[in-house]
Amino acid sequence: MPAPLPLAPGVLLWKGWLDRAAQEAVLGDVMGVLAAAPLFMPRMPRTADPMSVRMTNCGDLGWISDVAGYRYQRTHPVSGKAWPPMPRSVLAIWDETAAYPCPPEACLVNFYDSTARMGLHQDRDEFDFNAPIVSISLGDGCKFRMGGTIRGGATRSLRLESGDVLVFGGAARRMYHGVDRIFAGSSSLLPSGGRINLTLRRVSAASDHGSSGESQ
């Protein structure tokens, strides 16, 4: 296992963790997820403005956003079907990088076309802040921005590319982050271009391990 770059306390970056063959294998598994759970258009709470990123999920729980708010739920918001299982190829990346004793409960699949972006935000819809978040980048590169744990603080940018894996744990779990832009055409992995990000999370409170109830 190559050594990760420690970017900040709690932030580890493995550049090129997945080689091209491994990226193709994970992408194939993600295509299977997309066939079972098509991308949907999330909307902002209250305003119902569409987000530019298209989303779906795999795993026990999926993150969704609509006019009623942000939440985790067990079913796709359009089909009403349970999310497909998390592919083994994706679980393996968590096992190798997260250094956490429980598997992820949710894998959010974000699709960015060349114009999509994601504003600076914190991830705080989960109940287990002890577990890290693992992010896997596939396809076109992006300009990723990360700040501190207070809004309006200093930020730094880095370029993420296909095959990179980022882990945010400890203090970094509450870090502000976002995606400023996509570098269209920078990868040939996705036949029609764009970027896919997989975000693996635990959701339930640590004492809920094995619970079968809804998260909220």
Minimum distance of ligand MD3 from residue 113's CB (angstroms): 13
User: Which residues fall within 8 angstroms of residue 25, CB to CB, at 6 or more apart?
Assistant: 89
Residues within window 96-135 making contact with ligand MD3, judged by CB under 6 A: 108, 110, 118, 123, 133, 135
Minimum distance of ligand MD3 from residue 212's CB (angstroms): 25
d(CA 80, CA 38) in angstroms, rounded, equals 12
User: Which residues fall within 8 angstroms of residue 27, CB to CB, at 6 or more apart?
Assistant: 138, 139, 189, 190, 196
Query: Quick check: 164 binds Fe ion (CB under 5 A)?
Result: no
Minimum distance of ligand MD3 from residue 157's CB (angstroms): 13
Nearer to ligand MD3, 30 or 118 (CB): 118
What are the DSSP E strand ranges found in 54-153? 54-59, 62-66, 69-73, 106-112, 118-121, 133-139, 141-146
Minimum distance of ligand MD3 from residue 137's CB (angstroms): 7
Query: Quick check: 177 binds ligand MD3 (CB under 6 A)?
Result: yes
Nearer to Fe ion, 93 or 175 (CB): 175
Query: Quick check: 40 binds ligand MD3 (CB under 6 A)?
Result: no
Q: What angle do CA 168, 170, 174 make, to 5 degrees?
A: 70
Q: Which stretch binds ligand MD3 (CB under 6 A): 71-79, 92-100, 174-182, 183-191?
A: 174-182
Q: CA nearest 12: which of 158, 179, 151, 191?
A: 158
- Binding residue for ligand MD3, selected from 40, 72, 111, 168, defined by CB under 6 A: 168
